[in-house]
Amino acid sequence: MTRQLETGEVDVVIGTHRLLSRDVGFHDLGLLIVDEEHRFGVRHKERLKALKLAVDVLTLTATPIPRTLHLSLAGLRDLTLLETPPKDRSPVLTFIEPWDDGLIEEALARELDRGGQVYFVHNRIETIDTIAERVRALAPPRARIAVAHGKLKEAELDAVMARFVRGEVDILVSTMIVESGLDVPNANTMIVNRADQLGLAQLYQLRGRVGRSHRRAYCYLLVPDLVDDEAEERLRVLEHHTDLGSGYRIALRDLELRGAGNLLGAAQSGHAQAVGFDTYLRWLQETVDALKSGKGDDGNGARVPPEVILDLPAHLSDEYVPDEAVKLELYRRLARAEAPSEIQAVREELRDRFGPLPDDAQRLLLVSELRALGARVGLEMVLVKGDEARLTFARDASPRLAGLTAALDAVQFEAEVRRAAPLSLRLRRLGGEPIGSGLVRALTAVLADAHP
């Protein structure tokens, strides 16, 4: 098959993740369709990135992962919603309940009395047989029960699933292997044990296994009496969004709860907590614009701020600023700051509202000052470690070395040129003030000298 793909003897190929393997080549690939995109991991996504350079890609999913949805919302991917349900479909009634023998017994009996079938999901192979026995005790005596999980032999698992599809099994006790790919119109009740341990997209996919006919479907999410706040939020979102085609809205909520992840890195979820989402987008836009124009300078002295690395923590601690919303707003203001006066305003506000600044907060303001000043002098990176520092300028920067050296001498810093183009300096503190604040004073002097 791989040889036929490479020679072009095959026009259309349908396969699993195997098609993304490095040893699989294509003669002239023009279109790639990815179904159930949320089930692809980071390695597969990296392979898809390489393929996307030359082919058109269509991804299909009921619940896009946060990063994929964010790319669409940011305009980096086109997004189309299919919200028209099949004819005669009804929303799945969803209930969040603690384990209750009476509730489970009633749910099983009601479904079997109308000639239907039941999924009972328990995602722990070690205890699934014990749960199956409890279900057997609660089910009507006539119920035919089977167990399915990933450790069964392939032929045995196939036989169990085939019997369930044919209607020879009334209650299927299984792990998450039924999450997608099954279409059994006669199965219209699902019970999920310990639903608090599953993700939002997983629960939505599971719920989609029922309600695939004209019959009313039911989904029971069984949880302990006490669950953590994040799990409770996920469950409430699912209970609230029961309309057909609500996967997009659930995915939006998932994006809010989990964050958008890295655009170019491996993380497919996670928050840009250090700066805030809008600042992250602003930095992204600045970088994209600079790459598109081929210039780092827009003619007005505005550059992308340098990367500033300190050897000690620089942040607002929970003890100093306990309110998360206030903290995030302060981070955003510091990230947007383009002049030392803006950073000084934040410093005064912090001192006024929360008292004297601890060392971590002082270092955070130092980072902001170095970013603001460094952007104006053309720095690309500032590394501070102990009594030494490393300054690396951008390739298109043209600093006046004489003026820079004089400013560094004034704060008692010894400068050694490590590379001429692009300019890289190694600084060593000989005396005077700490290297961080001294560097701020030196860069301020350089800018004052350049614009008298």
Residue 172 has pLDDT above 60, yes or no: yes
Overall average pLDDT of the 281-287 stretch:
64
- Give the span between the Cα atoms of 377 and 400, in whole angstroms: 10
Question: What is the DSSP pairing of strand 218-222 with strand 307-310?
Answer: unpaired
Q: What is the pLDDT of residue 243?
A: 73
Residue in 325, 204, 196 with CA at minimum distance from that of residue 254: 204
Work out the pLDDT band at 43, boundaries 50, 70, 90.
low
Pairing of strands 145-148, 379-385: unpaired
How many percent of the chain have pLDDT more than 70? 82
Q: Name the residue among 349, 346, 328, 326 with its Cα closest to residue 337.
A: 346
Q: Mean pLDDT, the chain, as a whole number?
A: 83
Of the candidates 7, 41, 42, 6, the one whose C-alpha atom is nearest the C-alpha of residue 24 is: 6
Which of the residue ranges 57-71, 282-296, 381-395, 422-436 would you say has the lowest mean pLDDT? 282-296
CA nearest to 132, candidates 178, 186, 191, 206: 191
- Look at residue 264 and tell me whether its pLDDT is greater than 50: no
pTM > 0.85:
no
Question: Residue 429 is encoded by which pair of tokens?
Answer: 């503190």
Distance between CA 269 and CA 65 in Å, rounded? 8
Domain map of the chain by residue range? 2-60, 93-244, 277-450
The listed CATH number (3.40.50.150, 3.30.360.10, 3.90.1150.10, 3.40.50.300) that belongs to domain 93-244: 3.40.50.300
pLDDT value of residue 331: 85
Percent of the chain with pLDDT over 90: 34
pLDDT surpasses 50 at 159: yes
Cα(267)–Cα(419) distance, integer angstroms: 34
| CATH code reported for the domain at 277-450 | 3.90.1150.50
